[in-house]
Structure 1
Amino acid sequence: MSRPSSGSGSRFLFVVPPLVGHINPAVGVAAELAARGHESAWACADPGLVRRLAGADATVFPCAGPVPGSGDGVRPPELRGPEALKFLWERFLAPLAEEMAPGVATAVREFGPDVVVADQQALAGGLVAERLGLPWATSATTSAEFTDVLSGMPKVEEWLNELLGGIRERIGSPGAADPRFSPHLVLAFSTPEFVGPEARTGDQIRYVGPSVADRPAPPGFPWDWLDPARPTVLVTLGTANTDVGARFLSECQTAARERADRAQTVIVDPAGALDSTGEDKGVLIVPSVPQLPLLERVDAVVCHAGHNTVCEALWHGVPLVVAPIRDDQPVVAGQVVEAGAGIRVRFGRVTAPKLGAAIDAVLHEPGYRFAAGRIRTAFRAAGGASAAATHLELLASGAPAQKTA
């Protein structure tokens, strides 16, 4: 396959789903590759989202495919467990793979990458690369797939394997491997210290830790509101849970008000579900926050156990209260608890008193902060975006990937 000349650097095509938590880790890797003289481009069903996160100058090849929160992809908020997993695959991930495939093929033809980097939930990347004979790497932006979460649900596992086989057949890839795991290289943005003793291993799996890089932040955050002499709690449910978060955020607000004399709480409320007109001296309600710089000044995080938020909190050594909703979140929440870095509460049933007790515990019982600090050390030692970029360079050069210590 011919490709335009780009000097001595290599070319990498990142194939990502239209999901913030899956794009952000890849942004850090792409930035590191650029600093080393390589070129990157993107393929996504939401080019505007990629440019917002990766920069307005990012080269993005548009693909067809569903975007969360629109059309048939709107998931009933009451779905949980296997039914939620089935909806996710049948109504979002499988259509996304099949509809993205032509756009990914166009991107490969026009950009001429040396390596395709396919997010674990953007299966078209690996399957198209495989079909065209290109080396490809998996970008695994959640650690849930690195434990045997379906071992107790054989029928669900059988159903998923059949679905994956059907996707492969319709896209026309000749291989037989699980398309969620590249046989060449799997970049796991976590570490065994967090995933746990049963963490998946393999010759091609590299635990590189979180890819945490500077990114555009919303303007206007009232930094002067924060009192450096008081503990600070951040409450956030990420970007994809505004449809189900009102009750939980309301309980958080009540718990925060009850502790306003001894702690300050920042609640992210993008849907405007909370009453923010009152005089809450210790509670700040905002539609968005500059999360990375804020985490440098936070003492505890209350969240939905989204992998991106959890890893960014632990990257800063901040303990958590986790309230998983669906998808990989219960698995990630379990990893937080097993690591000793936080407390799990029930999203749909927790009350303000129980939330308050959990917040008090992670703020004041030293074991949680100690465990979060242990994970922080492991995350930073793993190398993050720099280690991921090195493994991708090796793959592009044809050299065998090197295991990290």
Structure 2
Amino acid sequence: MAHLGFLTLHVMGHLFPMSTLAAHLKSRGHRVTFFAFADSEAFITQAGLECVVVGREEFPLGYVKRAFGALSRMSGIRGIRYTVDLLCKEVGAQLATLPEAIREAGIDALIIDQFYIGGSTVADHLQLPYVHVANALLSNVDKKIPPIIFTWSDERGFIALARIRLAHAIIRKMFQRVWDELNRQRQKWGLPVYTEFLNERFGAQPQICQQPRSFEFPRNLPPTFHFVGPLHKSESRPGTSFPWERIDGRPLIYASMGTLQNGLEWVFRAIAEGCAGVDAQLVLSLGGNMDPAQFSQLPGDPVVVQFAPQLEVLKRAALCITHAGLNTALESLAQGVPMVAIPITNDQPGVAARIVWTGTGQLIPLKKLTANSLQRAVSGVMSNSTYRENARRFRDEIANLNSLERASEIVESVLR
């Protein structure tokens, strides 16, 4: 059996699927080690996985909370620019610290988050096989597909395609600093430089995507790209206490703005006020950046918690109000639950666009969010059975994908 190294972003939306895949590979006899910042060590070891801490001086304990605490209060382009700045800062550390740590650990192959941008350059330098995993919305660039930071639908007219090409050019410029840093290091290591790094960094190696194929616009992708479906499993989540005794039997609405972009207090208040006018019970999960005590007098008396056992709550839900993070969207679809999406930044607009495109929910742009607009969207989705029927079709599709087995087989294919 092989010794597999995992490289992932240090946020829960990426740690959850990667640790679930890692645990499944461990159950198949492989040894698994994460190379991570100090902030991720406790989560990884509690999952029964090995962890080597890298960048401890530059990224000490508490770094992730500080960095992403600021992001939680941002939206739109400002949030995207801030995220790109974080990625730039981390790429240098990846290139400087990972080769020695990976070499000392005796790693046979690397499993790399698509947004762990320096990972494949390190793998090329060490001459290791690797597999990329799209934990967020797939970041592969297709000049006919809108960038994932926009809520644009799948349109192929002349004006739409021109707008898409311009948007891709802007994103390339935003990532220029990362591109330049990777190429400087690749030259030092005697590796071919990237001319179009957003796709080239995936090489000819396999790519695993959490999306079901039908949750993606029609597009061209390499034969090494595999839609396997959600990499989640309730047993791999840490236990979370929840006041189940407060659930009163009314249709349940679960609202979560994720664990990153959840610092906008007014958004939670708009959700509560909007849902108060609907015959349903609201569960509001704050995601860790705010105290439930701040929301003790909300209209409709919702159940407000810092964290909720999301997979278990979704099993009972009639609707999910979401920031359109990919994990929450896929976990909702896996339970046949339709959505109202309120995307904040990064890939969330692209996820929201696909929710609308698949007919599994409605979208409210953040700038148009009010209690009234939220109530209209919630009532519209809950009263129209088509949304639930479409979500249930995804539930049935996802149930038949055997995602973790398929993903594990793809990882093992690079070991032969």
Normalised-by-shorter TM-score class = 0.7 to 0.9
The structure 2 residue matched to 1:131, chosen from 125, 135, 141, is 125
Q: Aligned AA for 1:42?
A: F
The structure 1 residue matched to 2:100, chosen from 81, 97, 106, is 106
Provide closer, same or farther for how the CA distance between residues 376 and 152 of structure 1 changes in structure 2, counting only shifts above 3 A.
farther
Residue aligned with 1:145, SS: coil
Q: Aligned AA for 2:5?
A: L
Alignment-derived partner of residue 241 in structure 1:
261
Q: Aligned AA for 1:86?
A: R
Q: Which whole-Å CA distance do the structure 1 matches of 2:72 and 2:252 have between them?
A: 33
TM-score, structure 2 as length reference:
0.84
Q: Aligned AA for 2:146?
A: V
Provide closer, same or farther for how the CA distance between residues 29 and 291 of structure 1 changes in structure 2, counting only shifts above 3 A.
same
Q: Which digits, 9 at most, give the CA deviation of each residue in 1:323-351, with x for residues without a partner? A: 11111111110011000000000223311
Q: Which whole-Å CA distance do the structure 2 matches of 1:31 and 1:165 have between them?
A: 32
Residue 224 of structure 1: how far off its partner (Å): 1.9
- Size of the aligned set, in residue pairs, is 381
Alignment-derived partner of residue 264 in structure 1:
281
2:182 aligned with 1:168: yes
Provide closer, same or farther for how the CA distance between residues 235 and 290 of structure 1 changes in structure 2, counting only shifts above 3 A.
same
Contact 1:186 1:206 in 2 (8 A): yes
Contact 2:381 2:387 in 1 (8 A): yes
Greater shift, 209-218 or 151-160, is seen at 151-160
* Identity value in percent: 22
Q: Which whole-Å CA distance do the structure 2 matches of 1:276 and 1:239 have between them?
A: 18
Residue 160 of structure 1: how far off its partner (Å): 4.6
Q: Which digits, 9 at most, give the CA deviation of each residue in 1:233-253, with x for residues without a partner? A: 01111111232x211100111
Q: Which whole-Å CA distance do the structure 2 matches of 1:19 and 1:347 have between them?
A: 23
Contact 1:73 1:92 in 2 (8 A): no
Alignment-derived partner of residue 18 in structure 1:
10
Provide closer, same or farther for how the CA distance between residues 312 and 389 of structure 1 changes in structure 2, counting only shifts above 3 A.
same
Q: Which digits, 9 at most, give the CA deviation of each residue in 1:165-201, with x for residues without a partner? A: 3132243351335355242111111122001223x41
Q: Aligned AA for 1:143?
A: L
Greater shift, 109-118 or 176-185, is seen at 176-185
Residue 309 of structure 1: how far off its partner (Å): 1.0
Residue 375 of structure 1: how far off its partner (Å): 2.0
Q: Which digits, 9 at most, give the CA deviation of each residue in 1:38-67, with x for residues without a partner? A: 111001124x43532562542111122654
Alignment-derived partner of residue 23 in structure 2:
31
Alignment-derived partner of residue 330 in structure 1:
349
Alignment-derived partner of residue 5 in structure 1:
none
Provide closer, same or farther for how the CA distance between residues 277 and 12 of structure 1 changes in structure 2, counting only shifts above 3 A.
same
Residue 221 of structure 1: how far off its partner (Å): 0.6
Residue aligned with 2:368, SS: coil
| TM superposition outliers: structure 1 runs of 4+ over 6 Å | none
Structure 2: 5+ residue runs without aligned partners? Answer: 148-164
Alignment of 1:373-392 (within 5 A): 373-392=392-411
TM-score, structure 1 as length reference:
0.86
Greater shift, 217-226 or 124-133, is seen at 217-226
Q: Which digits, 9 at most, give the CA deviation of each residue in 1:327-379, with x for residues without a partner? A: 11111100110000000002233111211121122222111011111222333
Residue 107 of structure 1: how far off its partner (Å): 2.9
The structure 2 residue matched to 1:62, chosen from 36, 50, 53, is 53
The structure 1 residue matched to 2:170, chosen from 149, 156, 161, is 156
Alignment-derived partner of residue 274 in structure 2:
255
Alignment-derived partner of residue 202 in structure 1:
222
Alignment-derived partner of residue 116 in structure 2:
122
Q: Which whole-Å CA distance do the structure 1 matches of 2:131 and 2:340 have between them?
A: 33
Provide closer, same or farther for how the CA distance between residues 247 and 283 of structure 1 changes in structure 2, counting only shifts above 3 A.
same
Contact 1:249 1:274 in 2 (8 A): no
The structure 2 residue matched to 1:185, chosen from 206, 213, 218, is 206
Contact 1:343 1:358 in 2 (8 A): yes
Residue aligned with 2:166, SS: coil
Q: Aligned AA for 2:35?
A: A
Contact 1:98 1:171 in 2 (8 A): no
Q: Which digits, 9 at most, give the CA deviation of each residue in 1:70-121, with x for residues without a partner? A: 269934945523x5433322x2112112112333223311221221011111
Q: Aligned AA for 1:264?
A: Q
Question: Over aligned residues, Cα RMSD in angstroms?
Answer: 2.4
